[in-house]
Amino acid sequence: MSQPTVVLDPTAGTTPSDRTRSPRPTSLVGVTVGLLDISKPRGDVFLDRVAERLGEQGATVLRYAKPTFTKPAPVDLRHEIATQCAAVIEALAD
């Protein structure tokens, strides 16, 4: 009698957990928006302009920066943004 075939899973076997999105702001008036600079050249140029536009629409803007664009944002920084802001915009690169 032949042996049963055993198939081994090369993956971690994990599945992403479902998380409900936070409600989207319906207006920017009085809303605190975080701007996260990933620290690539000229990301600040983009974010400066975004900050200007958000300010014109009544939002309060807080600025953040990753220590380096090559690594994920440190957990403390993510926590800081999550607790201080209702929305966040990230400037990717160049």
Partner 1 sequence: MLDGTNRAADEVVAVMPPALVECTVEKVAVNAVMAGCLPEYLPVVLAALEAVCTDEFNMHGILATTMGVGPVLVVNGPVSSRIGMNSGVNALGQGNRANATIGRAVQLVVRNVGGGAPGGIDRATHGSMAKLGFCFAEDEAGSPWTTLSEDRGFDRSQDVVTAFCGEAPRILVDQKSRSADSLVRALAEGLRASVSPRVVMGMDGMLVLSPEHMSRFRDAGWDRNRFMSELAGHLTVEADEILAGAGGIEEGLPEGFAGTTLPKFRPGGLLVVHAGGPAGLFSAIVGGWVNGPMGSEPTSREITP
Q: Which residues bind partner 1 (CB under 8 A)?
A: 8-12, 14, 67-68, 70-72, 93
Give the Cα separation of 68 and 14 in Å (integer): 28
- By C-beta, is 55 or 67 nearer to partner 1? 67
* Cβ 69 to partner 1 shortest distance, Å: 8
Q: DSSP letters of 3-21?
A: PPP-PPP-S----PPP-PP
- By C-beta, is 2 or 11 nearer to partner 1? 11
* Cβ 36 to partner 1 shortest distance, Å: 16
| Phi and psi torsions of 91, nearest 5° | -95, 120
* Cβ 75 to partner 1 shortest distance, Å: 11
* Residues paired with residue 90 on neighbouring β-strands, in sequence order: 36
